[in-house]
Amino acid sequence: MKAMFHSKIKSTRSYLFSIFLLMSLLLSLPFVLRGQTQPAQLSLADILIGLRSKKATLADRNTLLTDAVKTRGITFGLTPEIEKELVNGGAGNQLVEAIRQKSPKTKVAPIILSKPESTPIPTPTPTPTLTPTATPTPIPSPPEPDAAFYRVRANSHIIKAEYELAVADYGKWIELKPKDSMAYFNRGDSYEKMGNVQKAIDDYQKAVELDANNESAKNNLQRLQAGQPKTSPKPQNKEAASISDSSAVPQTVELGELNGFAVNLVTPVYPETAKKMNAQGKVTVQITLDKEGNVVLSKAVSGHTLLRSSGEEAARKSKFKPARVGNQAVKATGFIVYNFVRQAS
């Protein structure tokens, strides 16, 4: 009985510690000096990153972000496209409504109706004086989107089969982080889905040059150079994880990066041995899905050796949307990218 009581206390402390970490992340965002120190407004990228954090439940993340938006304000206006992207990222109704309330409002100048002219009464002409024109207060422009913003938006385009838009956003990601191997890999995968094989080969080659352990890029590059066509047809509809093909139904389709297709993406455990060895970084796990979206095979193809098994185990426990060709569910392959970051103690 006593052991069970202590176990419940330990579980409660762990949950409260996760909430504390997420609150610390929101409160540690940069400050801006404007006469006196005050908290900076939240950008769209800040909110998307907060929603993707795994330090607390989605409901707690929504609550904390809602309070932060109400307290600190935002740097962007809420459009239908941004609202759709927030909802896809896990934003609840209260968070979206808080953002809508904090969106910059456009002020409309009042219309002054002129009075009917009356018969003028002669008056002495006053000496004209010049009145200085008030200088309007400049409105600060919102900060430029960062690489994470373009990566998230490009992934959302991939889900909707909007490959040209995805290529453009991956290009912005590459401009901001030209040494990121996964940026070139994702753009190469988009080019391949569009049927532009040569550009796909060029991006896969660049991804391998930047990271020799990027096995997914190596495999795709070897396949294209050997002249083997990709098994997945080019998606035509906009339904997530759905591919249309009127001529034939393949047994298995290749979906590329699957982080955006996850119904339940399990966070991997950071091994204690890896922490002691200061092992960190990205781990890419190649996975195979059955027709119901369950993971039947997971294999880490890149990343630190001490982190691979944890990534494989988390991938096996995750759940994804079933891949479809037309109205028929099919098996699928792809990969997940986990990023292990060592927190300072």
Of the given ranges (51-65, 106-120, 161-175, 306-320), which has the lowest mean pLDDT?
Answer: 106-120
Q: What is the mean pLDDT of residues 276-289?
A: 92
Bigger pLDDT: 5 vs 224: 224
Two structure tokens written together for 300: 């880490």
Evaluated on CA atoms 32, 35, 36, 42, the torsion sign reads negative
Q: Does 122 have pLDDT greater than 80?
A: no
pLDDT at position 104 is 76
Which candidate, 156, 190, 193, 143, places its Cα nearest to that of 171? 190
Of the given ranges (69-78, 100-109, 183-192, 310-319), which has the lowest mean pLDDT?
Answer: 100-109
- Between CA 304 and CA 309 the distance in angstroms is 10
Q: What is the pLDDT of residues 55-81, one digit of tens each?
A: 788 888 889 889 988 998 888 888 999
Amino acid at 169: D
CB 74 within 8 A of CB 82: no
How many CA atoms within 13 Å lie on the side-chain side of 35?
A: 0
Q: What is the mean pLDDT of residues 287-311?
A: 92
**Full DSSP string of 294-332:** BEEEEEEEES-HHHHHHHHHHHHH-EEPPEEETTEEEEE
pLDDT band at 247 (very low <50, low <70, confident <90, very high): very low
Q: What is the mean pLDDT of residues 133-156?
A: 74
Q: Does 226 have pLDDT greater than 70?
A: yes
Q: What is the mean pLDDT of residues 295-314?
A: 92
Amino acid at 12: T
Q: Does 212 have pLDDT greater than 70?
A: yes
Percentage, residues of the chain above pLDDT 90: 28
Q: Does 266 have pLDDT greater than 70?
A: yes
pLDDT at position 148 is 86
pLDDT at position 154 is 85
pLDDT at position 10 is 54
CB 300 within 8 A of CB 215: no
Query: Quick check: helix, strand or coil at residue 263?
Result: strand
Instruction: Share the mean pLDDT of the chain.
Output: 78
Bigger pLDDT: 137 vs 63: 63
pLDDT band at 299 (very low <50, low <70, confident <90, very high): very high
Query: Quick check: helix, strand or coil at residue 254?
Result: strand
Return the HEC string of 84-127: HHHHHCCCCHHHHHHHHHHCCCCCCCCCCCCCCCCCCCCCCCCC
- Between CA 60 and CA 69 the distance in angstroms is 14
pLDDT at position 56 is 81
CB 23 within 8 A of CB 61: no
Q: Does 13 have pLDDT greater than 50?
A: yes
